[in-house]
C-alpha cells in the first residue's frame, strides 16, 4: 500500500529587485527567492482538499510585500523574515525553507552628483538557505561560480598509476577552479547576537580567496582543505563548510609542429571532462548537516 512521504510546495525563483533611494544615491538588492513550505499537507495530496494550502501565488506576493515592508538588509535577514512569517502565520505550515541567490551590481562612477547607474558584475553569485521549523533555525550561506586561478605554485605527482594512466607528473602547473561553497552558521536564533550577515559573507569569501592564493598546492584536495580550514579557524561563527571544486584543466599546447617552443606560456583550457573534488570541513565535535550533493542547492 502506498504512503505519502516527505513533501513540500511553494513558489520558486521569485525575482525581486529592491531599490533604496537615499537622495541622489541609490542602492540595489537583486534577489532570486524560492519558498518551500511543509507541514500538515497530507489531505491535499490524498483527497485533493486545499483547506490547509496557502497558495503559491500568496507566497510570491509575500516576497514582494516584504521587500517593501522590511527592506532587504541582507539575503539571510530577508530569508529569516520570510521563514518566520510563514511558520508563525499558518497553522498548517511547520517548516519553511527559503533559498536565495543574490546578484551583485557595481556602481558606475560618474562626474555628476547622481549615483544611480550600475553595471552587473561578472563575479560569483551569493547564496543563502534559511530553514525554520518554529523552534530551530538553520542558516546556510554560500557562493557559487567564483572562478580562481594560480598560474604556478601547484604540482601533481606521486599518484597511483595503472595500465590506463596517461597523465604525466608535473611539478609546475596551472591550478584553476570554480568555487562552489556552502557554510553553516552556528547562530541558533538569538536576536541579540544576530551576525552581521554581509560582513560575515565578505570575511568568509576573503578567507577562501586568501587560502587559495597562499597555499602551495600538491593537489586540489589539499587546497580545498586549506580553504575550508581557514574559514573554520577564523572564528566561531561558522560550524561547517562544504566545498565543491571542479578542476578546470589547462594543458600545455604542443607547438613543436610549428617550430615553436612552449615555455609554459600557451595552454588549452578544457571545459570537460573535469575532475570534481568535494569535501566538508567541520569544527571539531560538530555533526555535518550540509548535503554532500550541492547540485540542487541555489
The residues assigned a catalytic role are: 11, 56, 249
- Cell numbers 560569483 correspond to 124
CA distance 278 to 71: 36
Q: How far is CA 170 from the centre of its chain?
A: 32
Please provide the distance, in angstroms rounded to a whole number, between the alpha carbons at the two ends of the chain: 35
Bridge partners of residue 250, in order along the sequence: 269
Grid coordinates belonging to 109: 562612477
Burial 152-163 (b: 16+ CB within 10 A, else e): eebbbeeeeeee
Beta strands 238-247 and 175-185, pairing class = antiparallel
| DSSP conformation letters of 96-114 | EEEEEEEE-EEEPP-SSS-
- φ and ψ of 103, to 5 deg: -105, 130
Grid coordinates belonging to 286: 560538530
Amino acid at each position: 500500500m502506498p504512503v505519502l512521504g516527505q513533501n513540500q510546495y511553494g513558489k520558486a525563483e521569485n525575482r525581486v529587485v529592491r531599490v533604496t533611494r537615499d537622495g541622489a544615491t541609490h542602492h540595489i538588492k537583486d534577489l532570486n527567492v524560492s519558498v518551500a513550505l511543509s507541514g500538515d499537507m497530507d489531505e491535499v495530496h490524498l483527497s485533493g482538499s486545499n483547506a490547509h494550502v496557502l497558495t503559491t501565488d500568496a507566497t510570491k506576493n509575500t516576497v514582494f510585500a516584504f521587500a517593501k515592508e522590511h527592506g532587504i538588509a541582507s539575503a539571510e535577514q530577508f530569508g529569516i523574515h520570510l521563514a518566520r512569517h510563514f511558520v508563525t502565520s499558518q497553522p498548517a505550515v511547520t517548516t519553511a525553507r527559503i533559498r536565495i541567490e543574490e546578484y551583485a551590481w557595481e556602481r558606475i562612477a560618474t562626474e555628476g552628483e547622481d549615483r544611480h547607474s550600475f553595471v552587473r558584475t561578472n563575479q560569483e553569485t551569493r547564496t543563502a538557505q534559511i530553514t525554520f521549523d518554529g523552534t530551530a533555525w538553520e542558516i546556510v550561506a554560500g557562493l557559487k561560480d567564483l572562478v580562481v586561478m594560480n598560474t604556478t605554485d601547484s604540482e601533481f605527482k606521486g599518484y597511483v598509476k595503472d595500465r590506463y594512466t596517461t597523465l604525466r607528473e608535473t611539478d609546475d602547473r596551472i591550478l584553476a577552479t570554480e568555487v562552489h561553497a556552502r557554510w553553516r552558521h552556528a547562530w541558533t536564533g538569538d536576536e541579540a547576537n544576530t551576525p552581521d550577515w554581509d560582513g560575515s559573507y565578505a570575511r568568509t569569501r576573503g578567507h577562501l580567496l586568501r587560502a587559495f592564493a597562499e597555499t602551495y598546492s600538491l593537489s586540489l584536495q589539499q587546497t580545498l582543505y586549506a580553504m575550508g580550514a581557514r574559514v573554520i579557524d577564523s572564528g566561531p561563527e561558522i560550524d561547517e563548510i562544504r566545498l565543491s571544486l571542479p578542476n578546470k584543466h589547462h594543458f600545455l599546447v604542443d607547438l613543436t609542429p610549428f617550430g615553436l617552443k612552449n615555455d609554459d606560456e600557451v595552454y588549452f583550457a578544457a571545459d570537460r571532462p573535469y575532475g570534481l573534488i568535494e569535501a566538508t570541513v567541520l569544527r571539531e565535535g560538530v555533526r555535518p548537516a550540509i548535503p554532500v550533493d550541492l547540485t540542487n542547492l541555489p
